[in-house]
Amino acid sequence: MTYRGHVQGGVVLLDDPHAIPDGTVVDVCVAGGVPAQGSDRPTPGANSASVEQMLAAIWADVPASEWANLPHDLTDQLDHYLYGTPKK
């Protein structure tokens, strides 16, 4: 789940303060980098995750049994599985 909020005085404040019960352990991922000094806009770059890192995090949550359900020729026949074109 993703909840949006902001940091104020070193504390993360959620836009919906009742979204997560008190005492819940959370991991905080900074979206768009850390604002530069004197700026309220995030600075892209060093603190941003790469596409590969984001996909790896998503794929890590997929059980091995689900990966096993994929066709063995998925990469070779991607158009067939996505669009129904004849297999090559």
For residue range 27-83, what is the model confidence (pLDDT) as tens digits? 888 876 666 565 555 555 556 778 888 899 898 989 999 999 999 999 999 999 999
Query: Does residue 13 contact residue 6 with C-beta atoms inside 8 Å?
Result: yes
pTM above 0.85, yes or no: no
Q: Given pLDDT bands bounded at 50, 70 and 90, which one contains residue 19?
A: confident
Query: Does residue 46 contact residue 33 with C-beta atoms inside 8 Å?
Result: yes
Eight-class DSSP state of 49: P
Quote the pLDDT of residue 46.
58
Q: Cα separation of 69 and 81, whole Å?
A: 13
Q: Given pLDDT bands bounded at 50, 70 and 90, which one contains residue 22?
A: confident
